[in-house]
């Protein structure tokens, strides 16, 4: 069990991933019941269209079934491992569907920042609390850039379009924001 | 990439995880990551750092079809992985073993252990005689067609079963050719399962031997019957 499995949900997920590696389909179903909703929420924010997101979610669970044995050596928590597979799949789908998405879902309104409006994301464990603390030290623009990219799957150009700021400025916000986060989280 | 530039590697890992590293740069970084444990470690670190942002989103419940499709896909993948046997000797041994199992009645033992299938439709001749019973399992993944009366198509033709699905815009989805005697059981693929899950009716058409080659019905529609939906 990894260090992060001190979280009961992570411990349960680790056990289920291990059972998937032993070809236990019941375990995959339990994983699905525990995580599919959260994974779909994340993917839907990125790919924007429900049918695409649900199809990509299928890909993710098929991939988890096939790659479960690789988790043993993976670093980090089971939840992060699962969510990362989901995010990367969503980004891949977004990349391939990009042109269509622009036609259908124009970026006109800026989503509100989770860090401005809710405390939800900052109340789920030690790593989340650390991120919340360091996030609070960033400028609002840096937070906005990082959240739009990570949660909504926006590219630098998308963020420039959404905020009306020059592309170079956006790149700079994000680069400096990430550097500040790193410094804060490693201090 | 030079591995003695930890700051650069970390910056690239952070932009990769954030999703702002795109195009050729993203693909190049993915190759480096696959070959380099140190880079993979930085990626894991950034995933752990930023993931709380995505974990705070309110969950969205997937549609019921999603799980059914996942089950069908892993069944198909597991089946195809175990199927190919590369060595001819192994193939011959496997074939001999299959024959022995069938001869010993293993087939019947397998049938007894199979999940129960429920009748969902009875296809009747114009005179009222039962011609086929159509049965599916609780997951809608396994279909069995049982020929109850002698169902002989015109020479050089087959009977083909179709799901009339509202989901696919009304286009019938083939569920395979029907037996003319005995019974025939098959595992449905994802699109067949989806079509069946959304179908209210099934139909039988007369097709060339082995069924329509185009995937669409070509011959006359002989029967259309309602599907019995479980509660």
Q: What is the pLDDT of residues B65-107, one digit of tens each?
A: 999 999 999 888 776 554 444 445 445 555 555 554 444 444 4
pLDDT computed for residue B198 by the predictor = 80
Residues 6+ positions from A84 with CB-CB distance below 8 Å = B17, B47, B51
pLDDT computed for residue B223 by the predictor = 81
**A80–chain B nearest CA distance, Å:** 6
Residues B178, B157, single domain; the answer is yes
pLDDT band at B18 (very low <50, low <70, confident <90, very high): very high
A61 Cβ under 8 Å from any chain B Cβ = yes
Residues B123, B220, single domain; the answer is yes
Residues B33, B98, single domain; the answer is no
Give me the residue from A54, A156, A185 closest to B62, CB to CB. A54
pLDDT computed for residue B172 by the predictor = 85
Is B59 within 8 Å of A155 when comparing Cβ atoms? Answer: no
**In B, which residues are within 8 Å of A38 by CB distance?**
55, 57, 59
Residue A86 and residue A45 in contact, taking contact as beta carbons nearer than 8 Å: no
Q: Does the predicted TM-score (pTM) go above 0.80?
A: no
Residues B134, B208, single domain; the answer is yes
Residues B194, B128, single domain; the answer is yes
DSSP string, chain B: --TT-HHHHHHHHHHHHHT---HHHHHHHHHHHHH-HHHHHHHHHHHHHHHHHHHTSPP-PPPHHHHHHHHHHHHHHHHHHHS---SHHHHHHHHHHHHHHHHTTHHHHHHHHSPPEEEEEEEE-TTS-EEEEEEEETTS-EEEEEE-S---PSTT-EEEEEEEETTTTT-EEEEEEPPSSSEEEEE--HHHHHHHHHEEEEEEEEESTTS-SSSS--S-EEEEEEPPPP-
B191 lies in a domain? yes
Is B15 within 8 Å of A178 when comparing Cβ atoms? Answer: yes
Is B15 within 8 Å of A120 when comparing Cβ atoms? Answer: no
- Which tokens hold the place of A51? 């049918």
Q: What are phi and psi of A58, to 5 degrees?
A: -60, -50
Q: How many Å apart are CA B199 and CA B193, to the nearest integer?
A: 10
Domain boundary among B79, B113, B147: B113
A132 Cβ under 8 Å from any chain B Cβ = yes
Q: Closest-CA residue in chain B for A32? A: B67
pLDDT computed for residue B62 by the predictor = 94
Q: Report the topology of domain A3-104.
A: Rna Polymerase Sigma Factor; Chain: A (1.10.1740)
Q: How many CB atoms lie within 10 A of CB A106?
A: 9
pLDDT computed for residue A96 by the predictor = 73
Percent of chain B with pLDDT over 70: 75
Residues B104, B146, single domain; the answer is no
Write the pLDDT tens digit of every residue in B99-153: 544 444 444 444 444 557 888 888 887 667 778 889 998 878 888 888 887 666 6
Domain coordinates in residue numbering, chain A: 3-104, 114-186
Residues B216, B141, single domain; the answer is yes
Residues B149, B190, single domain; the answer is yes
Residues B16, B45, single domain; the answer is yes
Straight-line distance from the first to the last Cα atom of chain B, in angstroms, rounded to the nearest whole number = 60
Is A62 within 8 Å of B70 when comparing Cβ atoms? Answer: yes
pLDDT computed for residue B212 by the predictor = 84
A41 Cβ under 8 Å from any chain B Cβ = yes
pLDDT computed for residue B99 by the predictor = 52
* Low-confidence residues in chain A, pLDDT < 50: 1-5, 99-111, 113, 116-124
Q: Closest-CA residue in chain A for B14? A: A178
**In A, which residues are within 8 Å of B80 by CB distance?**
none
For the structural domain made of A114-186, what CATH number should be given?
1.10.10.10
pLDDT computed for residue B167 by the predictor = 57
Give me the residue from A131, A156, A182 closest to B20, CB to CB. A156
Residues B35, B129, single domain; the answer is no
B1 lies in a domain? no
> Which residue do the tokens 């195009």 mark?
B23
Distance of CA A132 to the CA centre of its chain: 16
Residue B207 and residue B126 in contact, taking contact as beta carbons nearer than 8 Å: no
Q: How many Å apart are CA B156 and CA B209, to the nearest integer?
A: 6
Q: How many Å apart are CA B173 and CA B212, to the nearest integer?
A: 11
Residues B93, B121, single domain; the answer is no
Q: Which long-range contacts (CB under 8 A, 24 or more apart) does A50-59 make?
A: A52/A93, A52/A97, A53/A90, A53/A93, A54/B62, A54/B63, A54/B65, A54/B66, A56/A86, A56/A89, A56/A90, A56/A93, A57/A86, A57/B62, A57/B66, A58/B66, A58/B69, A58/B70, A58/B73, A59/A89
Q: How many Å apart are CA A87 and CA A44, to the nearest integer?
A: 10
B26 lies in a domain? yes
- The number of domains in chain B is 3
Residues 6+ positions from A12 with CB-CB distance below 8 Å = A34
Residue range of the domain that includes B189: 117-226
Burial label, A155 (beta-carbon count in 10 A; 0-12, 13-18, 19+): buried
Which is nearest to A60 in space by CA: A30, A82, A41, A93?
A82
A49 Cβ under 8 Å from any chain B Cβ = no
Residues B19, B37, single domain; the answer is yes
pLDDT computed for residue A39 by the predictor = 96
B97 lies in a domain? yes
A31 Cβ under 8 Å from any chain B Cβ = no
**In B, which residues are within 8 Å of A124 by CB distance?**
52, 55-56
Mutate to test the interface with B, among A113, A159, A182, A187 (most CBs of B within 10 A): A182
């Amino acid at each position: 069990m990894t260090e992060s499995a001190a979280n009961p949900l992570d411990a349960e997920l680790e056990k289920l991933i291990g059972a998937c590696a032993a070809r236990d389909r019941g375990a995959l179903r339990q994983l699905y019941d525990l995580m599919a909703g959260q994974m779909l929420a994340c993917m839907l924010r990125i790919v924007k269209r429900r049918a695409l997101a649900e199809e990509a979610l299928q890909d993710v669970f098929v991939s988890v079934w096939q790659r479960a044995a690789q988790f043993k050596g993976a670093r980090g928590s089971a939840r992060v491992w699962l969510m990362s597979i989901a995010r990367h799949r969503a980004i891949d789908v977004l990349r391939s569907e990009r042109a269509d998405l622009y036609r259908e879902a124009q970026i006109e309104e800026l989503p509100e920042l989770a860090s401005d409006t809710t405390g939800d994301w900052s109340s789920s464990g030690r790593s989340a609390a650390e991120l919340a603390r360091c996030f609070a030290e960033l400028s609002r623009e840096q937070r906005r850039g990082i959240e739009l990219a990570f949660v909504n799957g926006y590219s630098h150009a998308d963020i420039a379009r959404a905020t009306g700021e020059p592309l170079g400025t956006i790149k700079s916000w994000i680069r400096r924001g990430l550097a500040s986060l790193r410094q804060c989280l490693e201090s | 990439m030079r591995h003695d530039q930890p700051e650069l590697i970390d910056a690239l890992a952070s932009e990769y995880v954030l999703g702002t590293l795109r195009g050729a740069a993203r693909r190049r970084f993915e190759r480096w990551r696959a070959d380099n444990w140190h880079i993979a470690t930085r990626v894991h670190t950034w995933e752990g750092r930023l993931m709380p942002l995505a974990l705070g989103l309110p969950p969205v419940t997937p549609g019921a079809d999603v799980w059914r499709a996942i089950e069908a896909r892993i069944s198909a993948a597991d089946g195809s992985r175990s199927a190919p046997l590369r060595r001819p000797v192994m193939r011959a041994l496997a074939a001999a073993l299959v024959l022995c199992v069938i001869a010993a009645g293993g087939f019947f033992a397998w049938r007894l252990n199979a999940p129960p299938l429920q009748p969902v439709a009875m296809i009747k001749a114009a005179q009222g005689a039962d011609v086929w019973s159509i049965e599916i399992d609780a997951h809608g993944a396994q279909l069995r067609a049982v020929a109850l009366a002698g169902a002989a198509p015109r020479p050089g033709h087959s009977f083909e079963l179709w799901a009339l699905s509202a989901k696919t815009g009304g286009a019938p989805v083939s569920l395979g050719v029907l037996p003319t005697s005995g019974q025939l059981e098959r595992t449905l693929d994802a699109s067949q399962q989806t079509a069946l899950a959304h179908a209210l009716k099934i139909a039988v058409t007369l097709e060339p031997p082995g069924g329509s080659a185009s995937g669409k019905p070509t011959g006359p529609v002989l029967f259309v019957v309602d599907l019995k939906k479980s509660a």
